Chain A
Amino acid sequence: MAGQAALTIQAKPQARVRARRFRVGAWMLPGYTHLVILWLFMPIFVMILFAFNDTHGKYNLQWTGFTLKWFEHPFAIPTLTSALVSSLSTATLGMLISTVLGTLIALAFHRYAFRGRTILDSILIMNIAASEVVIGSALLTLFIAGNVPLGFLTIVLAQVMFSIPFVAVTVRARLAGFDPALEEAAEDLGASPIETFMLVTLPIIFPGVIAAALLAFAICLDDYVITSFVAGNTQTFPLWVYGATRLGVPPQVNVIGTFIFLGGCLISVTFAAFRTWRNSQLAREAQA
């Protein structure tokens, strides 16, 4: 009996292999893709691994044993913690302001044909494509010339500046599929322009606005080059980490990096789950 069962089990896959022509190309491409993914994750693995390294001195370069102690006190370095806090606060401010301003630009592009459209368009592209080192140095030049004290304020000014185009582009992409009749319909039904925006336009483009805001937050949080030019004495997380590279980055950085990575995963998974849930919810509503 057992032998027979084994035979049938074996027989099946063989049959399938024969049925489908076996080709080298069939596994090469997926194999390559998975190798790429491995390559993409290698530094992340290293980061996470060394968050558990039981290092004793200043250097967290060689594996010296497993420990959880860095996770007990991830905020043990006051200057690192305050750098993280200022990063989060500049990024939050930068996100809020650039999301509003960028969305307004996207709306203008979506709704109106106006003089200067192509110029603004070119400025947006230039901004996206311009090198950070050029923008950073230009901003520094201006701030020095204009006697603007460098610090938190100038970081926010800069971060908003380089986030606006990304927000505008992202929201515009969302608006591209937006039926202008919807706004007209709202207006037609007695909604003032503000009501129209709040009740119709915003709810519909909201996923795009959220995506734009997250993008803006991410690039503000992660920016090193421009921020380093205009930060003055203010330390942000990337600036602190970059400064610390000279001596060896303490394991707390790995811990915080791991948290950020997990946070990113969590947000993505939540988004995906929310989508699935919403779709099923809609399906259920339809059946009711």
Chain B
Amino acid sequence: MSDTDRDRPSYLDPSFLRGLTQARFSRRTALKGAGMLSAAGFLAACGIGGKTSAPTSAHVNWVWDKATKAGTLDFANWPLYIDTGTDAAGNTTYPSLEQFTKDTGIKVNYSEPIQDDASFFAKIAPTLQQGASTGYDIIVITNGIQMSNLQLKHWLVELDPSKMPNFFKNAAPRLLTRSFDVGNKFTMPWQSGFTGIGYNPSRTGRDITSFQDLFDPAFKGKVGMFAGNQDTGNLALVGIGVKPEKSTPADWQRAADKLKQQRDGGIVRKYYDQSYIKALAAGDTWISMAWSGDIFQANLSAGNNDLKFVIPVEGGLIWTDNMCIPVGAAHPVDAITYMDYVYQPEVAATLAEYIDYITPVPGAKAIIEQQAATEPDKDTKAALLGTSESPLVFPPAGELAQTSYYRDLTTSEATQWNAIFNSVIIT
């Protein structure tokens, strides 16, 4: 793969990133990092030799002309982010993936190595820097710094629009105009979700409605915040009444000061990664920043069916996790086949029923309602209806208006952002 990779012409349309002011990055610039140790003398052979080519629109054809269906696909996803079942032997299965294999003849090697965007990006970045294959054909990345970086570094394969008919037909209209992927060149959304507040009413003793509740001294030591600075920073901006997309570094500092108060007041128990949900479920935290779908999942677990999710009155965050094909992917055709496949309403419905995040396919709602109508089992029927009626899966327009996307950041802004918010989180 690396051979063909070297021949691959570079491309970049810098306009896709709002606020991007830097000059174009040639492949040589991008690979400078790989030669960083050449000063030491023992690394002379490393990959500085990559060819520099002017960006060209021929890129799309370049990948897709050569590629053919391979019949296999390596899919890297987040944990518990797909429907699962159990076979007769008790093994975990992925019914929708099996159906895909049946329908297309493509076998899926499914794995869940992504714990969060930053660490996953850091994990694959050296490999991509070397010009080698990550070993994955599809990765799922949230909009944000890492998504920007992947595009900046030319590490995503530009999609062939002719191979994504379902996407253009069935995707929610708002998803066709995403600021971080103008023209849908590189990504197709997997699911979206809200960042808001999760809480356990039996412990808090009251309903939670506001961002300010995260600062209530009554919950001292029982409040969970996110260690990921995009969520925490953006939510704090929303909390202090600033629209993230219009925010300035001064706003960031104000938000950070607010968060520092909360921290130094002993209110925050810990800055959690995905493990926040475990703490909330166990009662270690009573109220926590949360992602919408997780609360539903947590309530499925025995003894935890009383957690609630709320988008604070000040507003919440909405994010989108996106499927994309990293460069060097061995099976791009199979990958794009799958990415488009899930945009069929039936498939989207199957996924939505299990995952309980915002499905990218509004048409799935009708399918689920249909299923519910014909479902004989009472509990299952209730569950299906619960999904189809959930504002967290099919959010009404008002709910969406209440939420903001993450602030898009340029590289230098990201450095500033990290410095400001990490000084809160990393103590």
Complex A–B touching at CB under 8 A: yes
A-B contact sample (19 more), CB < 8 A, given A62-B302, A144-B126: A58-B80, A58-B300, A61-B278, A62-B303, A64-B302, A69-B90, A73-B89, A73-B91, A76-B90, A76-B91, A77-B92, A144-B129, A145-B43, A149-B130, A149-B132, A232-B123, A233-B76, A247-B80, A248-B281
- Bound CA span A59–B132, Å: 37
Stretch at the interface among B64-72, B151-159, B269-277, B381-389: B269-277
Contacts of A6-29 to chain B: CB distance below 8 A: none
8 A-B residue pairs with Cβ-Cβ distance under 8 Å, sorted by A, are A57-B297, A58-B297, A76-B91, A149-B130, A232-B123, A233-B76, A247-B275, A248-B277
A170 contacts the other chain (Cβ, under 8 Å)?
Answer: no
Stretch at the interface among B10-18, B108-116, B348-356, B370-378: B108-116
Chain A interface bracket (under 10, 10 to 19, 20 to 34, 35 or more): 20 to 34
Q: Is the CB of A147 within 8 A of B47?
A: yes
B61 to chain A minimum Cβ distance, whole angstroms, is: 29
Q: Is the CB of B46 within 8 A of A245?
A: no
In the assembled complex, which residues on chain A have CB atoms less than 8 Å from the CB atom of B400? Answer: none
Question: Taking A72-B90, A76-B91 as contacts, is the C-beta distance between A59 and B282 under 8 angstroms?
Answer: yes
In the assembled complex, which residues on chain B have CB atoms less than 8 Å from the CB atom of A265? Answer: none
A58, A73, A78, A243: which has the most chain B beta carbons within 10 Å? A58
Q: Is the CB of A59 within 8 A of B123?
A: no
Q: Is the CB of A146 within 8 A of B43?
A: yes
A52 to chain B minimum Cβ distance, whole angstroms, is: 15
A136 to chain B minimum Cβ distance, whole angstroms, is: 13
Contacts of A43-62 to chain B: CB distance below 8 A: 55-59, 61-62
Q: Is the CB of A149 within 8 A of B127?
A: yes
Residue of B nearest to A148 (CB): B130
A44 to chain B minimum Cβ distance, whole angstroms, is: 20
- Bound CA span A233–B125, Å: 11
Residue of A nearest to B282 (CB): A61
Q: Is the CB of B278 within 8 A of A150?
A: no
Query: How many residue pairs, one in A and one in B, have C-beta atoms under 8 Å apart?
Result: 107
Contact with A along B67-98 (1 / 0, CB 8 A): 00000000010011000001001111000000
A281 to chain B minimum Cβ distance, whole angstroms, is: 45
Question: Taking A78-B91, A79-B112, A145-B37 as contacts, is the C-beta distance between A56 and B302 under 8 angstroms?
Answer: yes
- Bound CA span A69–B86, Å: 13
A236 contacts the other chain (Cβ, under 8 Å)?
Answer: no
B134 contacts the other chain (Cβ, under 8 Å)?
Answer: yes
- Bound CA span A61–B284, Å: 11
